[in-house]
Structure 1
Amino acid sequence: MKYWISEIFTSIQGEGEVIGRPSNFIRMAGCHLRCIWCDTKYSWLKTDGKEMELEEILQSINGLVTTTTITGGEPLLQDLEPLVSKLKEMEHFVIVETSGTVKPSARLRKIVDVFSVSPKLSNAGFKLHYNLKDDWATYYKFVIVEPRRDLREVLALVNEQGVNPSKVIVQPDGNRKDYEKALRELADTVSEMRLPYRVLPQLHRILKYR
């Protein structure tokens, strides 16, 4: 089995409910979206990555770290079942980070520990129509650029799709140079609007990690 890979590295998980965990990162190459604020544009094209055999990928990760995050790009554009199955045989805790535009297979849903789903708001530069009603995500993570406007859009989507508000995480745009100010603005606006969503930072932005 071969995969198109953008990069493999080990770092600290910076986002969502798994924030702070040491993790291997397997970044898949190829994405069908073109978010204007994307910070991994180098992973958009499959051919900008490297084709790697499954065993080569497994040999490239840090064996002392037993959390592995499969990210992208959009990882669900490739068949992840063989890769995740091997990682689970190695007793890894597996996280898949996805836009939620490609639904995982029934088997993949059973063997992945965490699906971190990041639905794209119109601040990404386009408007998508999501169907989240089968609720396969572990949690939903939204990038907020303009807090009041974007949070209204999150609220509308959550209400329309029947998403459990306890699964919703909002975080500021990681491209902001004044990141701490952006985080404060977001937290203040969530409080002012009396929304029940969790406000979390991108830890790697604060720590200046990749």
Structure 2
Amino acid sequence: MKYWVIEIFTSIQGEGEVVGYPSNFVRLAGCNLRCVWCDTKYSWLRSDGKEMTVEEIISKLDLRVPYTTITGGEPLLQDLYPLVKALKEKGQKIIVETNGTVMPRKELMELVDVFSVSPKLRNSGYQINYKFHKDWATYYKFVITRLEDVDEVLKFVEDNGINPTKVILQPNGLLKDEEYMKALRQLGDFVVSRGLPFRVLPQLHRILGYR
């Protein structure tokens, strides 16, 4: 089994419930979306990746680090089961970061420890009609570019029967440093003022200057 891979590196997990943990990152090539604020546009095309076997991928990982994050692009466009199975046999905990447009198969869901699902709001340039027939994500992460986006998140939660305590809001990561911190504070103040059950988190890797 071979995968189209953009890059492999080790860093700090900067987002979601696993924020702060050291993690290996396997960024796969190819995405079915082209979000306007995407910070990894270099991963959009499968042809920009390098074909690698499972064994070649694992050889590039620091197995002292307990987590491996499989991201993209959209990683679920490739069959992750052989890679995840091999990583689990090495004792790794697996995080899969996905936009939620591709449903993982049952066998994969049973192996993955954390599904970080980032549904795209209209601010991405898309209006996607998500239908989560099962609340399968570990958490849902939304990029907020303006405070009005939060109402769209509320509708998503209601329409899909999502547990609101699984929802994480974060500012647009393309903002410059001062603008980013201002947007983070405004978002936090807004959630508190509205009495919402959502979490507001920064991209820790961005603040620390990591990848």
TM-score bracket relative to the smaller structure = over 0.9
Paired residue for 2:139? 139
TM (norm. structure 1) is 0.98
**Mapping 1:76-155, distance limit 5 Å:** 76-147=76-147, 149-155=148-154
In the alignment, the residues of structure 2 paired with residue 64 and residue 137 of structure 1 have an alpha-carbon distance, to the nearest angstrom, of: 27
1:133 CA displacement: 2.9
What is the CA–CA distance in structure 2 between the aligned matches of 1:49 and 1:182, rounded to whole Å? 34
Question: Distance between the aligned counterparts of 2:129 and 2:69, measured in 1?
Answer: 26
Which amino acid is 1:23 matched to? S
Structure 1 residue 185 and structure 2 residue 186: aligned? Answer: yes
Structure 2 distance, partners of 1:115, 1:66, is: 16
Q: Given that residues 71 and 97 in structure 1 are in contact (C-alpha distance below 8 angstroms), is that contact kept between their aligned partners in structure 2?
A: yes
Q: Match of 1:14, SS?
A: coil
What's the CA shift string for 1:96-147, capped at 9, x where partnerless? 0000000000000000000000000000011000011311101100000002
- Equivalent in the alignment of 2:56: 56
Structure 1: runs of 5+ lacking an equivalent: none
Distance 2:72 2:28 in 1: 5
Equivalent in the alignment of 1:44: 44
Q: CA RMSD in A?
A: 0.6
Q: Within the alignment, does 1:71 sit opposite 2:71 as a pair?
A: yes
Tell me the TM-score normalised to structure 2 length: 0.98
* Counterpart position of 1:157: 156
1:39 alignment partner, SS class = coil
Distance in 2 separating the partners of 1:66 and 1:155: 34
Runs (4+) of structure 1 moved beyond 3 Å?
A: none
Alpha-carbon deviation of 1:184? Answer: 0.2
- 2-structure distance, mates of 1:167, 1:132: 14
- Measured in 2, the distance between the counterparts of 1:181 and 1:205 equals 14
Residue pair 1:66, 1:93 contacting (<8 A) in 2 also: yes
Q: Percent identity?
A: 64
Number of aligned residue pairs: give it.
209
Secondary structure of 1:27's aligned partner? strand
| Counterpart residue identity of residue 6, structure 1 | I
Matching of residue 29 in structure 1 with residue 29 in structure 2: yes
Q: Is the 8 A contact 1:133 1:163 kept in 2?
A: no
Secondary structure at 2:116 match in 1: strand
